């Protein structure tokens, strides 16, 4: 496909396959090799760039989602020579082999643009999506702190012209369909395409699962793709009074969920889960719908949403179909979506707003980790130590995320003591048989259930 967009303020045009990564385009087509290729699967952060002002990992951005957008690379940031931030990195010894430095600069620039005076915790969170094997990170944190104390302000890079419209010409979009590339501008257009060609093509949202899977060769490159970017109907996040539901569009990113005021106030476990998906650059790209529809056993969203009694809404040109989330999965990496359907939104009932809830994720590190075990917990208190409703959802221990089936039977409508909870947790964990590390994962399930209820019983939550 022929592609037009902006890089460092200047218009560029390339011809490239639709799922080729932005990283490859920058390095191979445009000769901008300051953006480094490290892992090619979204972990190391060496390929970080800004896309329409958001920090992203360019190895995960598919070409089909770039038309008319603005990319800023390390070359753009440094166009007028080393910045105050880069000087601060040098002064603090934060540059050693230098391979990871461009990614850290781009992550720091994004952090300081959004948080001009971050504390150390905020700096560490802002840099958590980038890996360094030389510095030990302390000097990088000091570098950002030095830049802040020196009054550093990131420079804005404006477009040199407006010759490339963000709206893709309809004639061009139609011509791309002959190449197997579908770029609908409305949900209605997308549903017509799915009705006619749903069996043939792959819908692409954030790309954070699809691109790495293709790199690792665990997924074949699809012959036909449909980009879901630009579909405003999938990007709504709102509380609907008439249904008493929080509705989250399938195209809503985890960054937006993390920052939403209703989520922060009423669904703290959802906020915590969203803030733990990868790191900032991943959260800016990954969508709730993509996380659910990838049907990964290790997906972060499903265990908690199961515990929150969420339901999913599919839409097609034939109408809507509403299902409890418990009915979404029918096998390993398989959902009940029909080829002519699209996941439209996820709904969470407001009756669970403000109720005791928690999300646990166990991995090899705090950020940028695929869970070895996740547990979503939600209860409704009837009286001190007694709960009328208990839901516990688990991930990474079964072929797809599930609710623990006996949680209601063992833990609802009875006064709980920690001794009883420990026995019940052991029974619940024994019902799950992970395909590997069985004893460890069963032990962790039991321990996390006990931890959740210990906090509740200690507080005597009503």
Q: pLDDT by residue (tens digit) across 15-31?
A: 999 999 999 999 999 99
- Give kind and range of the element (H or E) at residue 248: strand 245-249
Q: d(Cα 234, Cα 245) in Å, to the nearest integer?
A: 16
pLDDT at residue 461, as a whole number? 46
pLDDT band at residue 213 under the 50/70/90 scheme: confident
- pLDDT bin (cut points 50, 70, 90) of residue 191 is very high
The reported pLDDT for the residue numbered 363 is 87
CA 300 to chain centre: 9
What's the first-to-final CA gap in the chain, in angstroms?
59
Task: Output 353 or 219, whichever has higher pLDDT.
Answer: 353
257 pLDDT above the threshold of 60:
yes
- Quick one: pLDDT at residue 385? 92
On the question of pLDDT at 310 being above 90, the answer is yes
How do residues 48-65 score in pLDDT, each as one tens digit? 999 999 999 999 999 999
How sure is the predictor about 220, in pLDDT bands with cuts at 50, 70 and 90? confident
pLDDT above 60 (res 386): yes
Q: CA dist 243 to 37, 239, 288, Å?
A: 47, 9, 21
Q: Which of 203, 215, 208 is nearest to 282 (CA)?
A: 208
pLDDT, residue 10, reads: 95
What does the block give as tokens for 266? 């009423």
- Please state, rounded to an integer, the average pLDDT across all residues of the chain: 94
Q: What is the pLDDT of residues 121-179, one digit of tens each?
A: 999 999 999 999 998 899 999 999 999 999 999 999 888 777 888 888 899 999 999 99
Q: pLDDT for 428-441, tens place per residue?
A: 999 998 878 999 99
Residue 209 has pLDDT above 90, yes or no: no
- At residue 462, the pLDDT reads 37
Q: How confident is the model at residue 120 (pLDDT cuts 50, 70, 90)?
A: very high
Query: What pLDDT score does 44 carry?
Result: 94
Domains and CATH numbers, the chain: 84-149 (1.10.150.120), 170-227 (3.30.43), 233-352 (3.30.465.10), 357-459 (3.30.390.50)
| Cα–Cα distance, 341 to 346 (Å, whole number) | 15
The pLDDT of 237-250, averaged and rounded, is: 97
DSSP string, 20-74: -BHHHIIIIIS--TTS--SSSSSSS-TTEEEETTEEEEGGG-BGGG-TT-EEE-H
């Amino acid at each position: 496909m022929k592609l037009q967009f902006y890089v460092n303020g200047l218009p560029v045009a390339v011809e490239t396959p639709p799922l080729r990564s932005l990283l490859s385009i920058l390095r191979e087509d445009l000769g901008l090799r300051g953006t480094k290729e490290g892992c090619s699967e979204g972990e190391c952060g060496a390929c970080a760039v800004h896309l329409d002002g958001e920090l992203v990992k360019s190895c995960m951005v598919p070409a089909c989602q770039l038309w008319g957008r603005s990319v800023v690379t390390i070359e753009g940031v440094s166009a007028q020579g080393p910045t105050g931030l880069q000087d601060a990195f040098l002064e603090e010894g934060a540059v050693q082999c230098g391979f990871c430095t461009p990614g850290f600069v781009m992550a720091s620039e994004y952090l300081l643009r959004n948080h001009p005076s971050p504390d150390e915790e905020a700096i560490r969170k802002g840099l958590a999506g980038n890996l360094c094997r030389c510095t030990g990170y302390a000097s990088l944190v000091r570098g950002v702190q030095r830049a802040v104390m020196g009054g550093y302000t990131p420079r804005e890079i404006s477009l040199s012209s407006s010759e490339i419209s963000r709206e893709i010409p309809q004639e061009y979009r139609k011509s791309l369909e002959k190449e197997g590339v579908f770029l609908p501008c409305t949900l209605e257009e997308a549903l017509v395409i799915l009705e006619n060609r749903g069996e043939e093509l792959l819908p692409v949202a954030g790309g954070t699962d699809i691109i790495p899977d293709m790199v690792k060769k665990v997924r074949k490159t699809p012959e036909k793709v449909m980009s879901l970017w630009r579909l405003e109907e999938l990007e709504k996040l709102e509380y609907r009074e008439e249904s008493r539901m929080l509705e989250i569009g399938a195209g809503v990113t985890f960054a937006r969920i993390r920052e939403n005021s209703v989520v922060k106030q009423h669904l703290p476990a959802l906020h915590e889960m969203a803030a733990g998906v990868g790191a900032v650059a991943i959260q800016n790209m990954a969508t709730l719908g993509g996380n659910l529809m990838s049907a990964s056993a290790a997906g972060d969203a499903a265990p908690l949403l199961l515990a929150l009694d969420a339901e999913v809404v599919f839409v097609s040109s034939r109408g809507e179909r509403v299902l409890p989330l418990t009915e979404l999965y029918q096998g390993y990496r398989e959902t009940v979506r029909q080829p002519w359907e699209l996941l439209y939104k996820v709904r969470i009932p407001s009756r669970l707003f403000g109720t005791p809830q928690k999300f646990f994720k166990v991995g090899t590190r705090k950020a940028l980790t695929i869970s070895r075990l996740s547990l979503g917990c939600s209860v409704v208190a009837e009286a001190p130590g007694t709960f009328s409703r208990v839901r516990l959802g688990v991930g990474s221990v079964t072929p797809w995320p599930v609710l623990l089936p006996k949680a209601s039977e063992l833990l609802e409508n009875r006064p709980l003591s920690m001794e009883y909870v420990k026995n019940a947790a052991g029974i619940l964990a024994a019902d799950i048989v992970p395909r590997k590390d069985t004893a460890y994962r069963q032990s962790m399930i039991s321990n996390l259930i006990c931890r959740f209820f210990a906090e509740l019983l200690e507080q005597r939550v009503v």
